Amino acid sequence: MNLDLIRSLILIVPLLIAAILYTVISGGIQFAKLPLIFSETLGAIRERHFGSSGQISAYQATMIALCGTVGTGSIVGITGGILLGGPGTILWLWVFGVLAMALKYGEVTLAQHLRRIYNDGSILGGPFLYIARGVMPNTFAKFLGAIFAVLSIIAAFAIGNLAQISGATTALEASFDLRPVFTSLLLAIVVLVIIGGGATRVARVAQVLFPLMLAIYTILVLGLIIKNIAVLPSALSSIFIGAFSLKSAVAGGGTFAIISVISQGFARSIFATNAGLGVSSIAHAQAQVDHPVRQGFWGVVEVFVALMISTLTAVAVLTVPAVWQGMQEAIPAETITSAFRSLGQVGTTFNDQFASLGTGTLAVVITLFAVATTIAWAFYAEEALGHLFGDGMRWTLRLIWVGMVFLAPFIVVEYTSFVVSAEFLLAIMSIPNIVALFILMPTVQNLTRGFFRGEPYQAPDMPNQRTTSLDAYDSMEFNLE
């Protein structure tokens, strides 16, 4: 039994069922309430909705989550999906992604509802807590939550640290001929400075870093698409034709080919949005909001943004057929780089320089994505470790984390194989979270109904939470200025 089949059985099928069910129990919230969701989130970024607790704003929490969700996988990973499954992969990425909005909404709502709030105002929340507190209040639930915490720490080092930094140093070496030993050392110092400041510093960096790299990448990708605008209609049509074609980039044909394309699309969507994996809800649990459902809205937005970036990458690659057609054995990182190198036309100095600018900018963007993902996953690992052993080991983890950032280029020898193994580890990590999502479905349904009926929210242990004066929160600043 190969890794793809195992991944489908333990990850894709259960999450697809869960995504459909969460769409139903939420009343199709990603469709029926979409205008409200955008008005309450992106339309009210500069408004401060103070809840009873929380150290960072809803927007800042979402920026941390997006930094952890949108990594090099949204560039290199999507390209790999096209190489393996063909253009049709993208349609199935969209299908699961739209359903996954409700799934992410449920995860975020649960993380907010079942988080712990301490006397100093600090927050701890995420799957390890909503599993331990919500699934069933017994030793087995606590054990299941601890298993998730352990696996998330291991996954953080693999996919959130080693894979990201290795991808960044490789891109920098290819574009600027910079030796990995120097770039990884510089990145290690930068990461240490950021994560050393805890959740508030990570949040402040994330709220600036993510919009910046999103803007740069969008401009770069649109430049490539506009340059190849004549090919755009055929590129878009190939997505829909390829989704149901009996022939695909993968080996085999007929029904097998279609199933393989669907599997690739769903898998890319899961790893591009992190929906169902649970980890990004660790960041959302930190937000200061007056109702868990309100932060759940930001979960929908998180998936929407991740899908937008993945779509931009896919369309850009598809408009340069020469770099992906018949190239299923190609390396995704080299394929996406070749696509952006086509911005220039070989033969003139100016266009050669323009092509170099495209690949150089791409390398910088990949590095920014890698740093953003690394600081977010460092925070996730810290919170998981805090759940297991308390706050006393935070600095130990930070120092180990930074050491692994420096060593990443030397540990990850073959990038593609490493990422495949790391994604398999994420699939294993998600099992406790998937179990919790099914069991806690009624909780999300009740919270959703209560919110839209205007019922006042009462946290499970609210009487024990109000041990810190609310005056302390009035003096905190959560705006973007």
Tokens describing residue 320: 């340069």
Distance CA 273, CA 69 (A): 6
> Can you give the pLDDT at residue 171?
85
What does the pLDDT look like over 385-402, one tens digit per residue? 999 998 889 999 999 999
User: How does residue 7 score in pLDDT terms, banded at 50, 70 and 90?
Assistant: low
Distance CA 116, CA 243 (A): 44
User: How does residue 325 score in pLDDT terms, banded at 50, 70 and 90?
Assistant: confident
Asked which of 103-112, 329-338, 365-374 is least confident by mean pLDDT, the reply is 329-338
> Can you give the pLDDT at residue 113?
95
Distance CA 481, CA 477 (A): 9
Asked which of 206-220, 226-240, 285-299, 320-334 is least confident by mean pLDDT, the reply is 320-334
User: How does residue 6 score in pLDDT terms, banded at 50, 70 and 90?
Assistant: low
DSSP run (H or E) holding 461: none
> Can you give the pLDDT at residue 81?
85
> Can you give the pLDDT at residue 476?
33
Above 70 in pLDDT, residue 256?
A: no
Compute how many other C-beta atoms are within 10 angstroms of the C-beta atom of residue 450. Answer: 16
pLDDT average, residue stretch 410-433: 82
Q: Counting beta carbons within 10 angstroms of the beta carbon of residue 463, is it exposed (0 to 12), middle (13 to 18) or buried (19 or more)?
A: exposed
Above 80 in pLDDT, residue 440?
A: yes
User: How does residue 249 score in pLDDT terms, banded at 50, 70 and 90?
Assistant: low
> Can you give the pLDDT at residue 1?
45
Residues 277, 278, 282, 288, CA torsion sign: positive
Q: What is the DSSP letter of 27?
A: T
Q: Looking at the domain assignment, is residue 20 inside a domain? A: no
| Beta-bridge partner residues of 124 | 116
What does the pLDDT look like over 167-180, one tens digit per residue? 899 889 888 889 99
Percentage of the chain lying above the pLDDT 70 cut: 84
Q: Looking at the domain assignment, is residue 417 inside a domain? A: yes
Tokens describing residue 57: 């704003």
Give how many domains the chain has, as a whole number.
1
Asked which of 125-139, 198-212, 231-245 is least confident by mean pLDDT, the reply is 125-139
CA of 3: how far to CAs of 280, 296, 304, 369, in Å?
24, 32, 28, 27
Above 70 in pLDDT, residue 417?
A: yes
Above 70 in pLDDT, residue 379?
A: yes
> Can you give the pLDDT at residue 74?
80
Q: Looking at the domain assignment, is residue 98 inside a domain? A: yes
Residue 376 near residue 67, CB atoms below 8 Å: yes
> Can you give the pLDDT at residue 465?
42
Above 50 in pLDDT, residue 474?
A: no
Which SS3 state, helix, strand or coil, does residue 358 take?
Answer: helix
> Can you give the pLDDT at residue 52?
54
| Beta-bridge partner residues of 56 | 287
Read out DSSP for 44-93? Answer: GTTS----S--SB-HHHHHHHHHHHHSSGGGTHHHHHHHHHH-TTHHHHH
User: Could you tell me which residue, 465 or 53, shows the higher pLDDT?
Assistant: 53
Residue 108 near residue 270, CB atoms below 8 Å: no
The dihedrals phi and psi of 117, each to the nearest 5 degrees, come to -120, 125
Percentage of the chain lying above the pLDDT 90 cut: 58
User: How does residue 324 score in pLDDT terms, banded at 50, 70 and 90?
Assistant: confident
Above 80 in pLDDT, residue 403?
A: yes
Mean of pLDDT over the chain: 85
User: How does residue 54 score in pLDDT terms, banded at 50, 70 and 90?
Assistant: low
Give 186-193's long-range contacts (Cβ < 8 A, gap of 24+).
187/367, 187/370, 187/371, 187/374, 187/405, 187/406, 188/402, 188/403, 188/405, 188/406, 190/371, 191/371, 191/374, 191/375, 191/378, 191/401, 191/402, 191/405, 192/398, 192/402
Residue 400 near residue 216, CB atoms below 8 Å: no
What does the pLDDT look like over 455-472, one tens digit per residue? 999 888 644 443 332 233
**Top-ranked range on mean pLDDT: pick from 53-62, 120-129, 402-411:** 402-411
CA of 165: how far to CAs of 87, 138, 444, in Å?
28, 39, 36
> Can you give the pLDDT at residue 314?
94
Of residues 341, 339, 344, the one with CA closest to residue 319? 339
> Can you give the pLDDT at residue 419?
73
Q: Looking at the domain assignment, is residue 425 inside a domain? A: yes
Q: Counting beta carbons within 10 angstroms of the beta carbon of residue 146, is it exposed (0 to 12), middle (13 to 18) or buried (19 or more)?
A: middle
Q: Looking at the domain assignment, is residue 94 inside a domain? A: yes
pLDDT average, residue stretch 421-438: 89
Residue 334 makes CB contacts below 8 A (sequence gap 6+) with none
User: Could you tell me which residue, 88 or 138, shows the higher pLDDT?
Assistant: 88
| Beta-bridge partner residues of 123 | 117
Q: Looking at the domain assignment, is residue 355 inside a domain? A: yes
Identify the CATH number of the domain in which residue 60 sits: 1.20.1740.10
Which SS3 state, helix, strand or coil, does residue 124 take?
Answer: strand
The dihedrals phi and psi of 7, each to the nearest 5 degrees, come to -60, -40
User: Could you tell me which residue, 473 or 241, shows the higher pLDDT?
Assistant: 241
Q: In terms of residue numbers, what domain contains 207? A: 53-442
Asked which of 119-133, 290-304, 318-332, 393-407 is least confident by mean pLDDT, the reply is 318-332
Residue 291 near residue 306, CB atoms below 8 Å: no
Q: Looking at the domain assignment, is residue 40 inside a domain? A: no
User: How does residue 250 score in pLDDT terms, banded at 50, 70 and 90?
Assistant: low
> Can you give the pLDDT at residue 390?
87
CA 303 to chain centre: 8
Residue 235 near residue 318, CB atoms below 8 Å: yes
Distance CA 249, CA 28 (A): 34
Which SS3 state, helix, strand or coil, does residue 402 take?
Answer: helix
Tokens describing residue 279: 């980890």
Burial 154-167 (b: 16+ CB within 10 A, else e): bbbbbbbbbbbbbb
User: How does residue 70 score in pLDDT terms, banded at 50, 70 and 90?
Assistant: confident
Q: Looking at the domain assignment, is residue 466 inside a domain? A: no
What does the pLDDT look like over 9-29, one tens digit per residue? 778 999 999 999 999 999 999
